[in-house]
Amino acid sequence: MAKIDKHSALIIVDVQRDFCPGGALPVPRGDEVIPILNKYIRLFKEVGASIYATRDWHPPNHASFKAYGGTWPPHCVQGSRGAEFHPSLELSRDVRIISKAQEPWQEAYSAFEGTGLRDDLKGRNIWRVFIGGLATEYCVKSTVLDALKAGFETILLEDAVMGIDAEIGDVERAVKEMMEKGAKKATLSSIIGRDDP
Ligand code: VGL
Ligand code: ZN
């Protein structure tokens, strides 16, 4: 089982108000990942491993919004309340924040797209990434696949992701694709041998 050490990083994908119940583009029960992610945050801190939190960070006229030719309702507009990290997520000042899809024409589901995340990780001698957050079949999946392409040992945190499942089976298919392309799965209890650190 993959171990958390100083060559590991936790990547928390898009745990923002707009992707949680009550937000503009909610993942059903998306907020349920938060207490689990907080446990991962504590674990990573204990061993001095790096923590990254990504955020969807769109301009008001972003191309992914329906009014501008896209498919989504407006969400995660830079500086808006909906774009804030969910207040229950325990992010401290040493968490590195990665903003993505910041230009009107730029869609980026992956946290590696146009952000410098890859070089930042490599610069810190990190080669193993543990990925959780929202939504499983969109930004989590793209981030996992890009991490694999960039050569990282990539672990999907099964108990800390949630998807939209617009078509029943979307989430299952996404997980299958990530595994087929080389990602591994882990849960809190598989990492520490119990589920309550
Ligand atoms: C996302 C849809 C649009 C995500 C971002 O974070 O999964 N989904 N923008
Ligand atoms: Zn978006």
pLDDT digits (tens, 9 = 90+) for 130-162: 999 999 999 999 999 999 999 999 999 999 999
User: Which residues are tagged catalytic?
Assistant: 14, 100, 139
Q: How far is the CA of 155 from the centre of ligand 1 (A)?
A: 20
Q: Give the separation between CA 43 and CA 147, rounded to whole angstroms.
A: 21
pLDDT category, 193, cuts 50, 70, 90?
Answer: confident
DSSP output for 61-130: T-TTBGGGT-SB-S--BTTSGGGSBPTTS---TTSEEEEE--STT----STTTTS-HHHHHHHTT--EEE
Q: Find out whether the beta carbon of 135 lies less than 6 Å from any atom of ligand 1.
A: yes
How far apart, in whole angstroms, are the C-alpha atoms of residue 4 and residue 136? 22
Give the residue, by CA position, lying nearest to ligand 1 atom 6: 139
Q: Which atom of ligand 1 is nearest to the CA of 72?
A: 3
Q: What is the pLDDT of residues 80-106, one digit of tens each?
A: 999 999 999 999 999 999 999 999 999
Containing 143, the helix (H) or strand (E) segment is helix 141-149
pLDDT tens readout for residues 55-67: 999 999 999 999 9
Which strand ranges, in their side-by-side order, compose the sheet holding 184-186?
A: 96-100, 50-56, 8-13, 128-134, 153-162, 184-186
138 lines ligand 1 (CB under 6 A): yes
Q: Whose CA is nearest to atom 4 of ligand 1?
A: 139
Cβ of 56 less than 6 Å from ligand 1: yes
Q: Is the CB of 18 under 6 A from ligand 1?
A: no
Q: Which ligand 1 atom is nearest residue 138's CA?
A: 7
Query: How much distance in Å is there from the Cα of 24 to the middle of ligand 2?
Result: 11
On average, the pLDDT of the chain sits at 96
Atom 2 of ligand 1: nearest residue by CA position: 138
Question: Which residue from 108, 84, 135, 96 is spatially nearest to 11, judged by alpha carbons?
Answer: 96
Band of pLDDT at residue 197, cut at 50, 70 and 90: low
Coil, strand or helix at 181: coil
